[in-house]
Amino acid sequence: MNNYQITAWCSDFIRNQVQDGDLCIDATMGNGNDTLLLSRLCGSTGKVLAFDIQEQALNATRERLDTANAPDNYTLLLESHANMAQYAEPGSVNCIVFNFGYLPGGNHALATRGETSVQALSQALILLKKGGMISLCIYSGGDSGFEERDQILAWLKQLDSHKYLVIKSEYYNRPNHPPIPVLVIKLS
């Protein structure tokens, strides 16, 4: 791992999870960093579905993937992640990535919201195959506020521990509402 930023931390687990040929979802496409990572990891026999509600994100991601010569294995969708269940079969996805918040360099008002984030996470659990993983980068404070963080954490807490393993990490000595990395593994 080159650094211990939240995205680098989660990427390490994503690299460990995704195999050639997998179906993966980037639930918050943004500028395409996670879409590119997933595209490379699942390779030409795999597939990535990437969601965002902003045209600006799709354009930035398309350019990012083109420039990086990513495998031709992705579909960029101008669609809310709250509708992701319409795009994949239940039990078919090995890795789903959520990086909540707003598009860096974009409109902060078009950030993810607690209610739709929880809807999307509920659908993600259905789409995930056994052994599949969801990675979450959760932010709070500043423009993000606290409502979304609290809604997501409350939802995670009530997941059935026989069916899902939830691992929440912590930047323990960092002040001012540090980001929260979480992994969810589907056990059965």
Ligand X SMILES: C[S@@+](CC[C@H](N)C(=O)[O-])C[C@H]1O[C@@H](n2cnc3c(N)ncnc32)[C@H](O)[C@@H]1O
| Binding residues for ligand X (CB under 6 A) | 28, 30-34, 51-54, 57, 80-82, 99, 101-103, 110-112, 116
Distance of closest approach, residue 75 Cβ to ligand X, in angstroms:
14
Closest approach, Cβ 89 to ligand X, in A, equals 20
Beta bridge partners of 181: 137
Please provide residue 160's backbone torsions phi and psi, each rounded to the nearest 5 degrees: -65, 120
84/184 with CB nearer ligand X: 84
Q: Which two tokens stand for residue 81?
A: 């992640």
> Hey, what are 99's tokens?
């990086």
Residue of closest CB approach to ligand X: 30
Q: Least distance to ligand X from the beta carbon of 53, Å?
A: 4
Residue type at position 116: T
Quick one: 163 or 171, whose CB is closer to ligand X?
171
> Which of residues 42 and 187 has its CB atom nearest to ligand X in the complex?
42
Which residue number, 73 or 123, has a Cβ lying nearer to ligand X?
Answer: 123
Instruction: Rank residues 111 and 128 by Cβ distance to ligand X and give the closer one.
Output: 111
Distance CA 81, CA 28 (A): 7
Separation of CA 114 from chain center: 14
Instruction: For residue 10, give both structure tokens.
Output: 């989660």
Contact 97, 48 (CB under 8 A): no
Least distance CB 64 / ligand X (angstroms): 8
3-state secondary structure at position 31: coil
Shortest gap between Cβ of 21 and ligand X (angstroms)? 23
